[in-house]
C-alpha cells in the first residue's frame, strides 16, 4: 500500500495494529515506573500529538499534560537547528516527574535542547518516550538514555501517525516510509 504526499510516494512501514500494541506495552512500562506520582507529560508538537493522546488515554492516574512546539525539520531533512521555547508550559515542574513524549528521535539534538531547558525547572526526574528511534544517527548514546522506545528504525524518512511531510500525512493511522524507487 502506498500514499502520495506532494511530490513523494510513501510505502506502508508500520501498520496501526502494531503501533497500538507497542503503545500498550510502553504505557504499561510508564505506569509501572511512575505509578500515582502525578507526572507531567510534555508532548513535543506537532508530531507527537497522536502518540501523546494514546499514551495519556492509557495512564490510569492523575497527571498533567502540556505541549511544546519545537521545529527542526525542513521538508524531509533535519535542519540541525532547534527552535524551542518553554514559556508555554503551564504546569509546575519543580520536584515532579516529567515524561517527554516525542514522535521520533533521530540525531537527538532536539531532545538534548529540551532536556537542557527543562532541567532548569528542577524536576524530580525526566523520562523520555518516543514512538520511533533512529539509533544509527543518534549522537548522544553515552550521554542521554531514551527510557521508552516504540520502534527502532533505520535512517529513513517516515510519515503518518502524527509525522508529516511538509504538512501532509499527520492524519494517517499507519506509518509509511519514503519509497526510494
Which stretches of the chain score pLDDT less than 50?
A: none
Its pTM stands at 0.91
Assign domain 17-155 to a CATH class. alpha beta
Q: Give strand ranges (E) for 15-155.
A: 40-45, 64-69, 71-74, 77-83, 97-105, 125-133, 148-152
Per-residue pLDDT reduced to its tens digit, 72-85: 555 555 556 666 66
106, 145, 164, 174: the catalytic one is 106
pLDDT at 29: 98
Catalytic annotation present for 164: no
pLDDT tens digits, one per residue of 100-114 = 999 999 999 989 989
Percent of the chain with pLDDT over 90: 80
Cβ–Cβ under 8 Å, residues 111 and 48: no
Amino acid at each position: 500500500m502506498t500514499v502520495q504526499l506532494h511530490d513523494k510516494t510513501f510505502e506502508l512501514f508500520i501498520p496501526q495494529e502494531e503501533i497500538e500494541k507497542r503503545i500498550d506495552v510502553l504505557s504499561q512500562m510508564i505506569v509501572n515506573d511512575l505509578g500515582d506520582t502525578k507526572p507531567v507529560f510534555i508532548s513535543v508538537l506537532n508530531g507527537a500529538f497522536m502518540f501523546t493522546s494514546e499514551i495519556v488515554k492509557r495512564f490510569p492516574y492523575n497527571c498533567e499534560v502540556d505541549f511544546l512546539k519545537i521545529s527542526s525539520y525542513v521538508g524531509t531533512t533535519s535542519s540541525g537547528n532547534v527552535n524551542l521555547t518553554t514559556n508555554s508550559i503551564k504546569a509546575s515542574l519543580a520536584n515532579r516527574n516529567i515524561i517527554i513524549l516525542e514522535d521520533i528521535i533521530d540525531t537527538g539534538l532536539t531532545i538534548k535542547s529540551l532536556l537542557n531547558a527543562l532541567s532548569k525547572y528542577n524536576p524530580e526526574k525526566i523520562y523520555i518516550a518516543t514512538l520511533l528511534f533512529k539509533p544509527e544517527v543518534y549522537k548522544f548514546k553515552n550521554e542521554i538514555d531514551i527510557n521508552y522506545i516504540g520502534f527502532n528504525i533505520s535512517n529513513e524518512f517516515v510519515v503518518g501517525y502524527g509525522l508529516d511531510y511538509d504538512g501532509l500525512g499527520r492524519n494517517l493511522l499507519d506509518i509509511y516510509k519514503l519509497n526510494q524507487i
